[in-house]
Amino acid sequence: MKKKDLLLKILGNAEAAVAGVVMVALVLATFLGVFARYIFNKPFNWLEEMQMAAMVWVSFLMAGVCFRRGSHVAIEIVVDSLPEKVQRVIEILIAVVVYFVLIYFFRSSMKYIQLFVKTGRKTPILQIPYSYVYGIGPVGSILMMISYTVMLVQKIAGWRNGGKGAEA
């Protein structure tokens, strides 16, 4: 296995592993929260903050994994009905739009986090800095760009080999 492939595999596994741990914590805390609220009549005041932060982290970490595995939502019926050369042009246009959106999101989320750092804003109950909660945004954007680039390189390599892409 090439070093590049090994690095990407480690990165993908690390993303999924961290997201998995956060998801387990989310499910466990929610499960315990239900018992606390309905059986013991003592709800966890901090549960909603924890759930929100966990959902943000899981979403951004798994988005890159979805790009890499081709698990993201795509409606390809129209593109697939077009001639192969037109499909390739559309794929390139889609790539430009994806990179534009991810770069825009990266820059915007960095500004957002800088604002949280500057103001020192924290969650009301757990007092977790919002910069920690939303700090995964720029990281997730970079991971998505890496994952999308890997997928795009595989697709272009497939074109050069006479196929339609990585799935060919």
Structural domain includes residue 165: no
DSSP string, 13-56: HHHHHHHHHHHHHHHHHHHHHHHHHHTSS---TTHHHHHHHHHH
pTM for this entry: 0.78
Q: Which of 33, 77, 53 is nearest to 134 (CA)?
A: 53
Q: What CA–CA distance (Å, rounded) separates 133 from 113?
A: 9
Structural domain includes residue 166: no
Structural domain includes residue 168: no
Domain total in the chain: 1
Give the domain extent around 76. Answer: 3-160
Structural domain includes residue 118: yes
Which class for 56: exposed (0-12), middle (13-18), buried (19 or more C-beta within 10 A)?
middle
Token pair in block for residue 125: 């109950």
Query: For residue 28, what pLDDT is reported?
Result: 95
Structural domain includes residue 100: yes
Structural domain includes residue 89: yes
Per-residue pLDDT of 48-67, as tens digits, reads 999 999 999 999 988 878 87
Per-residue pLDDT of 31-50, as tens digits, reads 999 988 888 888 899 999 99
Q: What CA–CA distance (Å, rounded) separates 6 from 118?
A: 38
Structural domain includes residue 167: no
Q: Helices 136-160 and 47-69 meet at what angle, rounded to 10?
A: 10
Q: Place 124 in a pLDDT band, splitting at 50, 70 and 90.
A: very high
